[in-house]
Each structure stands twice: as structure tokens, then as C-alpha cells.
Amino acid sequence: MPTRWNFFYVLYQTHIQEHNKNRIYALTCNTCKQAYIGQTNRNLKQWYQEHTRYIRNNDPQSAYALHILKNKHEYGPMNDTMTLLKYEQRTPMLIPYAQLFIQTYHRNGLLLPEQHIGDANPLFQLIINTVTTNRHKH
């Protein structure tokens, strides 16, 4: 049976997530299952609508839109194609976390080839190698 404290905790978490707009997300191509990694401090639904508007208008402004248009691949509804990867309260940390996800997806063959991966970061490579090694040990 839920307690009053559980109710307030759920209410608090909902409030935090609604107002914490700093997010890192993945947009997955329905055809090839590779993803575009992005970061935003805006509402995810609005951001998704921007990407799909680029596609509908044949405007390759994002790597995701470029991929869909160039390869004639399919995208789907937000619930099927967009995945929230991380909430981040500290705005300056959005770019480093996004870059970590980009390099991780790239290393695992899951990143759209149209997305620029940036410079290899030795610290990110160490983290990625450690996580990969630990997964194989279990």
C-alpha cells in the first residue's frame, strides 16, 4: 500500500524530470537501427519534431535527417525512435556526456555514419574499454 511519502517522492521526481531540460538522447533509424546522439536543454518532443520537420522538408540540417534522406531510410514515432540516455542538471556537462555516448555508440557500430564523432578522447576510450572488459568478465 503506498504511503504518503511514496506519493511525495513520485511527485518530486516528476517535478525534477519535467523541469530538468538538460538531456542526452538517441534517435534511432528504423531501417538500419543505427543512432544519432544529441543533447538539448529543450523539450524532447519539440526537438524530435524539429528533426522530423527537417526530414519532411527535405532539409538535412541534422545528421539524423541527412541519414534518413540520403539513404531513403524510415523514421518512426517518437516513442519508437527516441531514447533518453541521460538527464544532466549541470549544463556544462552536456557536451562531454554526449561525446562519451557518441564515441561509445561509434565503437560498438551503433552510430550513424553521418554523425561526426569528434576527436578521440583517451579518457573516454579508457572508460569504454573498462566497461566493455567488465561486461565480458560476467
In a domain, 9, yes or no: no
In a domain, 40, yes or no: yes
Cα 97 from Cα 105, distance rounded (Å)? 12
In a domain, 4, yes or no: no
| Structural domain that includes position 38 | 21-137
In a domain, 14, yes or no: no
Number of domains in the chain: 1
Cα 24 from Cα 121, distance rounded (Å)? 19
For 77-125, the pLDDT digits (tens) are 999 999 999 998 888 888 899 999 999 999 899 999 999 887 666 666 6
- What CATH number is associated with residue 96? 3.40.1440.10
For 30-57, the pLDDT digits (tens) are 999 999 999 998 888 888 999 999 999 9
pLDDT surpasses 50 at 14: no
In a domain, 13, yes or no: no
